[in-house]
Structure 1
């Protein structure tokens, strides 16, 4: 019993000791400070500072606590005693100056700030600390002055990056970019860092002030001190602005100086393709075709040239595929081209059986599980196209099992969700889509979110039909290129009196129906009918979630029909009524072009 008593006493003592360690006191004090309980924080930081008077973190927090509780004299006394005991700690003048500033004693504040700056004549090593303190107190001009003074006195010091950041905080983009570019000029190891920090100010709008200043700074530098680095940064800038042709010009210039690496041009071509800029993409991939000596590189470039031919409805697409097979053969190296050809046969030529034969032959050439997955994905698409859903789901599920967490597995999961949606199994489709909303692949994530919203916004409640099942059927028919049948089903949803009665006269899915009909009419080149359907959405609700999509589609249609004034009207609606729209930048660019601005 006696031993037990001593054990309990020892445990309590140990626990109490652990609770009162400096680390625990600091964490508690910091918590009080962050919660705004400055009186409690003051007591703890005072204790910590007394125990460790050379800890600058404790000192800084204690001074701040004094200031927040209006104990300015306490802070002043503490700082003056520290300076008196060790006058080499020149950074303390910044604390003291700010203490006076908090009391509106600006003259005394300035005297101490100047003492801190002037101290760098002899103590340049404190430049970083003094500059950071000025920055923390938002005394940005003083911070710049401190960093510059420190570099002037110590040629090995480099605070250009900190100075550039401060210019950015001040909104002085010209000085900021000049500082960043000077930094790269002196040491190209800063390239990625400068690119990353510049991207905080660069947008996809070429008329954005920061974009213009960055471009001008680079061009000026490239004249005074030509370097490949400036072309690389210009290429990056143009790509951010989606000016892919201009980016290609920079990449081509880089390659011509050093004709070794074509990967940057290939990457640029892919980005241009994914953004539907087929002219710029074609330039990139043709350049690779003409200049590469690597067979695989040539095959990859030709794959995208074939994709562009399909996307632009080139009448010679079949001939193009056959010429590629004649040049490179049907083998493991051309699997992606064979898969693309099967897609073309199914969804453009409406020849799914021939496409199946192509893929069944291709699977014999596949040398990796990834190639097999690509083939199975396309076989699954063809099975959905022909209405064989269960077989398609088997293929998609196999890919998910074999390539967990890979992009192809995520694509397969989306196809499981889409196929389930077509079948009317909305519960299972939603379950798959929930997982995909956080997909690492942005395109898949976006598609997943869009389909999830269609289902969740229109799912039948309490067994009352909502039109979602019919709408999913119409989407399947459109997927199968049965556009007229799809339009008929969509129209039947609008005309279904039973649905209207059950839903109180309004069917929520109506706007989706009109939008889908309009898109199918565009595909059929019946543009006036498309515009009529878009107009019905605006008439019903001009503030709905589809409004900016509708305005952009209408602007594009009128633009293609050379009805400039109407196109400008709808681009303007996006610019002024939907400033957060994903179409804003494109709308602004196209509006300016129609207005005749020299972009």
Structure 2
């Protein structure tokens, strides 16, 4: 007896059979592609760039939509300095995805390396104009410029981004880092002050960043000029903390003393800030200044819990001054007693 299959059942059976065949075919191809891709990576790492590029090209031809294959091809082409082929490859992909900003930024980078600077600028400009109000657009373009050591252009791109996004506080840390690298210490300090204005609790963070150039006399001098100018327009305790730190970095303890007196006044700490400075001046063996500072702290008036220590510090400083005649003589004309 022959069982008659319904048309629906036959259709489902055939579909399942075909899917199984296709799945087996895909499984048989996937290991081959995976093996070739791993081999291409190994060859690339071993410096066999031409052989790696050949494998990446073969893989991309089979699967043009695979980004890893595309990335492998363009990466090896750049290593081989085959810029024209890399430009054509990126252009082909851009034709399929004209809104891909990463591709546009990459195209600008390759064009620049090929010596086609005007075309590179045009490519970067098209990337920006495609999404002019998106901060990440400017970050993407600027980062490709930094990769090509175009620091000034990256700075200009970030500043353009501030205007395009209508936010003068954008890209503060990015700009500060670039300006430090360009040795524009005044510009970098201005950016750090912007950051501090928005993040007032991060004085220590800003100090750590500025320490990258404040150890240089020219860097410290530029920073002091900018911060001191800022204190003339607004009496912000954080600016004075930064200024005092900069003076101490340069061992200019007399200038630092005046700043720490201002900090003590603004903070209303009744001499405890001056007392802390006096201890530091004593450790630095600037006894004439530590004597003045301990005296000023006592006159603030200092809280009772610290008065005995301040009196002892003052007396010890005077004793050390008497024991070192040169120091005593050097200390006489510096600052009047408060």
Structure 1 length normalisation: TM-score? Answer: 0.42
Matched with 2:241 is 232
Matched with 1:121 is 132
1:171 corresponds to 2:187 = no
- TM-fit CA distance, 1:127: 2.1
Matched with 1:268 is 277
Which residue of 265, 274, 280 maps to 2:289? 280
Aligned counterparts of 1:202 and 1:216: Cα–Cα separation in 2: 12
Say whether the 8 Å CA contact 1:289–1:301 is kept in structure 2. yes
Runs of at least 5 residues in structure 1 that lack an aligned partner in the other structure = 1-16, 315-522, 526-555, 563-599
Say whether the 8 Å CA contact 1:272–1:280 is kept in structure 2. yes
Aligned counterparts of 1:72 and 1:280: Cα–Cα separation in 2: 65
Say whether the 8 Å CA contact 2:173–2:191 is kept in structure 1. yes
Say whether the 8 Å CA contact 1:117–1:145 is kept in structure 2. no
Which residue of 157, 182, 185 maps to 2:194? 182
Aligned counterparts of 1:75 and 1:242: Cα–Cα separation in 2: 55
Q: 5 Å matches for 1:181-220?
A: 181-203=193-215, 208-220=217-229
Say whether the 8 Å CA contact 1:215–1:237 is kept in structure 2. yes
Give the paired residue count. Answer: 295
Aligned counterparts of 1:262 and 1:47: Cα–Cα separation in 2: 76
Question: What whole-Å deviation, never above 9, does each CA across 1:438-460 have from its counterpart, x for those lacking one?
Answer: xxxxxxxxxxxxxxxxxxxxxxx
Secondary structure at the counterpart of residue 104 of structure 1: coil
Q: Compared with structure 1, are the counterparts of its residues 102 and 195 closer, same or farther at alpha carbon in structure 2 (3 Å cutoff)? A: same
Aligned counterparts of 1:278 and 1:61: Cα–Cα separation in 2: 66
- TM-fit CA distance, 1:138: 1.4
Which residue of 105, 108, 131 maps to 1:94? 105
Secondary structure at the counterpart of residue 188 of structure 1: coil
Aligned counterparts of 1:48 and 1:264: Cα–Cα separation in 2: 68
Aligned counterparts of 1:286 and 1:209: Cα–Cα separation in 2: 34
Aligned counterparts of 2:107 and 2:307: Cα–Cα separation in 1: 67
Q: Compared with structure 1, are the counterparts of its residues 65 and 190 closer, same or farther at alpha carbon in structure 2 (3 Å cutoff)? A: farther
Aligned counterparts of 2:320 and 2:47: Cα–Cα separation in 1: 60
Question: What whole-Å deviation, never above 9, does each CA across 1:445-481 have from its counterpart, x for those lacking one?
Answer: xxxxxxxxxxxxxxxxxxxxxxxxxxxxxxxxxxxxx
1:246 corresponds to 2:255 = yes
Q: 5 Å matches for 1:482-501?
A: none
Question: What whole-Å deviation, never above 9, does each CA across 1:420-448 have from its counterpart, x for those lacking one?
Answer: xxxxxxxxxxxxxxxxxxxxxxxxxxxxx
Aligned counterparts of 1:104 and 1:158: Cα–Cα separation in 2: 31
Matched with 2:147 is 136
The higher relative CO (CA closer than 8 Å, separation ≥ 6) is in 2
Aligned counterparts of 2:92 and 2:237: Cα–Cα separation in 1: 55
Aligned counterparts of 2:273 and 2:50: Cα–Cα separation in 1: 58
Matched with 1:256 is 265
Matched with 2:307 is 298
- TM-fit CA distance, 1:236: 0.9
Runs of at least 5 residues in structure 2 that lack an aligned partner in the other structure = 1-30, 331-338
Aligned counterparts of 2:273 and 2:54: Cα–Cα separation in 1: 59
Say whether the 8 Å CA contact 1:288–1:297 is kept in structure 2. no
Matched with 1:572 is none
Secondary structure at the counterpart of residue 297 of structure 2: helix
